[in-house]
Amino acid sequence: MTAFTIPSIETQRLTLRAAQREDFATFAAELAKPRSRYMDGPFDRDAAWSFFVNDLASWALLGVGGLMLERDGEVVGQVAIAQPPHFPEIELGWFTYEAHAGHGYAAEAAFALRDWAYAHAGLSTLVSYIHPENAASIRLAEKLGALADPAAALPEGDTEADTIVFRHPSPEAMADGGMEAYA
């Protein structure tokens, strides 16, 4: 087995860390809510478990995966860099738990994980697959400097009515413009 390390990333307000078994109940409850519809939910407990363990296993298989967003000892959401089999590219995704939405946690975590992936995972491009009606995620992708990429391949089974592909700025573009250009 290949040795791997799941990073822990500190931001101004958050710790991005590996999932722990005790995180699952709240994770499953959040994925069961109607607000998970933009991720093809709501999901039952078994499907939520598949997401949960996939985000951990992806670290061993791909060198990237999901991290829980912890603030003051409480999990407030999740951010992930993943490529399930039906995704043509590696995606940066985020999900803030309902009680913690609107506080900027997803943006803070997505900036941090994107920057980590470019600096430590050797990635040179990332996309976010976003449902056209998910206005909050579209705003966040744009805040991250991502632009709609109509030439990008869609996830298997998706149509343009289901998904907009946002391409995140490359490490080179961020270096040329500085982080201020994307904040």
> What are the sequence ranges of the domains in the chain?
9-182
What pLDDT, on a 0 to 100 scale, did the predictor assign at position 51? 93
Largest CA distance in the chain: 45
Question: What is the layout of strands, in order, in the sheet containing 91-96?
Answer: 9-10, 15-17, 66-71, 74-82, 91-96, 127-130, 164-167, 147-148
The predicted structure's pLDDT at residue 56: 94
Is it the case that residue 177 has pLDDT exceeding 70? no
Angle at CA 167, nearest 5°, toward 169 and 30?
Answer: 110
CATH, domain 9-182, list 3.40.718.10, 3.40.630.30, 1.10.580.10, 1.10.4030.10: 3.40.630.30
Residues 6+ apart with CB under 8 A from 176: none
- pLDDT tens digits for range 24-77: 999 999 999 999 999 889 999 999 999 999 999 999 999 999 999 999 999 999
What is the pTM for the complete model shown? Answer: 0.92
Give 150-168 pLDDT, tens digit per residue: 999 999 999 999 999 999 9
